[in-house]
């Protein structure tokens, strides 16, 4: 549910942990499908160190509210999974441009699936929206980006992953808090151990709550006496709405909108955080992207907004309000927040952003990525399943094909290589 983004120019690097990235690419670094980590009983010095660490954490856990019997029960046969340390320390081999990030998360498939979910859970969503003041579309957008509406929620046993992260690697203090929170959840009986599987860093359920966030903000919305974000869609959706409300969501206000910046206007120092009244922005000559006034609906001239340009001055620009900050707090990355905001707008019926991203090789949808994979399979590459998830094998095959076709071998599954494949196929069909 939370990751630490680093922004370098128009490229975002995601380090810890980016669950939305599972939806873009649910594969391990070697290109194979992600599976539940194997649990081994082999005794080794490293495993001995883990067992000593777990024993030493017992008193801290008890001080945090974990019963002695609970701690002993869930750590008695606990073994480490050191693959999560590799992921904690993993530095991406290539950057992810924001146009790739958004094209994979907000495409026609996810929009159509979201509308189906809105219809399927109309009553629940309307009740949650009324209770917490968050629009239905925003709740569903979080669900779609976090787990593709429950299809991808992670397969790592939380106790094993968080126990390992509590004893090895960076940020051990943070992960220990989540480790103990997981035990307190089990202790209360809301969820069972076999339900608590999620991302390698501990996020779980339909909308990927960290255990400590679950403790603070999860709600029982279906009335069965349990807060179940794994098996109960009503609980998960209402808990997400509650999160956004507690994060400062302002009912009836927008997250923001795309704007047009006058040519030559200096945008140095502007950011999401540097908010100014809309009247100030209007005096600068900024308008909505369609040229209309900034002050519309519930907005007033004194409403404060920040100017956000995620790809720099030559890409789309947005004025964003406090509701964007509420979305941002869910996962602490502007690219993530923009994906949620944009998907929520698309679910309302609006179109894509008007301003083009500053690239000659825009991103591809999941359907287009599957098409690229089909071409690669026909060329004889062993890339695994055609699933629209771009792993290392697919990237390596793309590099080889880009070299063959005289293109820059970036390994990106962008529009450029897709056009080249389509053109080559068309020529072959005409021969």
The per-residue pLDDT for 36 is 40
Co-location of 238 and 306 in the same domain:
no
Same domain, 23 and 120: yes
Do 265 and 239 share a structural domain?
no
165 and 32 within one domain: yes
Residue 396 lies in a domain: yes
Tens digit of each residue's pLDDT, the chain (431 residues):
544 333 333 333 333 344 565 565 544 333 333 434 444 444 466 788 999 999 999 999 999 999 999 999 999 999 999 999 888 876 443 457 899 999 999 999 999 999 999 999 999 999 999 999 999 999 999 999 999 999 998 999 999 999 999 999 989 999 999 999 999 999 999 999 999 999 999 999 999 999 999 999 999 999 999 999 999 999 999 999 999 999 999 999 999 999 999 998 999 999 999 999 999 999 999 999 999 999 999 999 999 999 999 999 999 999 999 999 999 999 888 999 999 999 999 999 999 999 999 999 999 999 999 999 999 999 999 999 999 988 889 999 999 999 999 999 999 999 999 999 999 999 988 87
Taking the alpha carbons of 283, 285, 289, 292 in that order, is the dihedral positive or negative?
positive
301, 320, 339: which is the final residue of a domain?
320
Pairwise CA distance, residues 142 & 216, whole Å: 18
Residues 121 and 192 in one domain: yes
pLDDT at 300: 97
> Of 345, 324, 332, 333, whose CA–CA distance to 255 is shortest?
324
Contacts of 26-32 spanning 24+ positions with Cβ under 8 A? 26/152, 26/389, 27/389, 27/391, 27/392, 28/391, 29/86, 29/90, 29/392, 30/391, 30/392, 31/383, 31/384, 31/391, 31/392, 31/393, 31/394, 31/396, 32/384, 32/391
Residue 391's region, left for phi above 0, alpha for psi from -120 to 50, else beta, is beta
| Domain presence at residue 358 | no
Tokens of 125: 């969503």
Q: Which of 204, 198, 208 is nearest to 142 (CA)?
A: 208
Domain containing residue 36: 5-246
Do residues 160 and 288 both lie within one domain?
no
Distance in angstroms (rounded) separating the CA atoms of residues 122 and 225: 22
Number of domains the chain contains: 3
Give the span between the Cα atoms of 200 and 216, in whole angstroms: 21
* DSSP state letters, 110-175: HHHHHHHHHHHTHHHHHHHHHHH---HHHHHHHHHHHHTTTT----EEHHHHHHHHHHSSS-HHHH
Angstrom distance (rounded) from CA 376 to CA 251: 48
CATH code of 382's domain: 1.10.101
269 and 225 together in one domain: no
Q: What is the DSSP string of 343-404?
A: HHHHHHT--S-SSPPS-SS----HHHHHHHHHHHHHTT------SS---HHHHHHHHHHHHH
Q: Which of 246, 264, 294 represents a domain boundary (last residue)? A: 246
pTM (two decimals): 0.87
Q: Is 235 within a domain?
A: yes
> Are residues 228 and 284 part of one domain?
no
First to last CA, the chain: 51
Same domain, 48 and 167: yes
Tell how strand 11-14 and strand 96-97 pair up: antiparallel
């Amino acid at each position: 549910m939370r990751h630490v983004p680093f922004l370098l120019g128009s490229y975002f690097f995601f380090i810890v942990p980016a669950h939305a990235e599972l939806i873009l690419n649910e594969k391990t670094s070697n290109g194979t499908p992600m599976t539940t980590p194997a649990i081994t009983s082999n005794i080794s010095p490293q495993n001995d160190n883990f067992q000593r660490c777990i024993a030493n954490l017992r008193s801290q856990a008890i001080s945090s509210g974990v019963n002695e019997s609970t701690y002993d029960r869930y750590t008695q046969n606990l073994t480490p999974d050191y693959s999560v340390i590799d992921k904690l320390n993993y530095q991406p081999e290539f950057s992810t441009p924001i146009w790739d990030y958004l094209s994979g998360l907000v495409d026609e498939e996810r929009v159509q699936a979201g509308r189906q979910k809105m219809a399927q859970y109309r009553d629940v969503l309307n009740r949650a929206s009324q209770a917490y003041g968050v629009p239905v579309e925003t709740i569903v957008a979080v669900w779609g980006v976090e787990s593709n509406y429950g299809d991808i929620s992670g397969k790592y046993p939380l106790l094993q992953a968080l126990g390992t992260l509590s004893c090895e690697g960076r940020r051990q203090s943070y992960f220990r808090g989540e480790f103990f929170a997981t035990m307190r959840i089990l202790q209360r009986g809301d969820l069972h151990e076999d339900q608590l599987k999620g991302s390698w860093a501990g996020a779980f359920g339909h909308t990927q709550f960290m255990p400590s966030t679950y403790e603070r903000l999860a709600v029982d919305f279906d009335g069965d006496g349990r807060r179940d974000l794994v098996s109960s869609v009503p609980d998960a959706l209402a808990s997400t709405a509650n999160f956004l409300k507690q994060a400062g969501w302002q009912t009836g206000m927008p997250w923001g909108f795309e704007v047009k910046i006058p040519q030559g206007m200096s945008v140095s120092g502007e950011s999401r955080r540097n908010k100014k009244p809309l009247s100030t922005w209007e005096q600068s000559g900024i308008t909505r992207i369609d040229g209309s006034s900034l002050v519309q609906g519930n907005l007033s001239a004194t409403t404060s907004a920040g100017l956000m340009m995620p790809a720099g001055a030559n890409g789309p620009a947005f004025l964003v309000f406090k509701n964007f900050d509420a979305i941002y707090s869910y996962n602490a990355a502007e690219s993530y927040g923009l994906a949620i905001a944009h998907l929520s707008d698309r679910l309302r019926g609006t179109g894509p952003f008007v301003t083009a991203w500053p690239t000659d090789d825009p991103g591809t949808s999941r359907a287009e990525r599957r098409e690229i994979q089909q071409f690669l399979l026909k060329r004889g590459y062993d890339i695994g399943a055609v699933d629209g998830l771009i792993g290392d094998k697919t990237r390596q095959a793309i590099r080889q094909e880009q070299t063959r076709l005289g293109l820059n071998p970036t390994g990106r599954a962008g529009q450029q290589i897709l056009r080249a494949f389509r053109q080559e196929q068309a020529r072959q069909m005409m021969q």
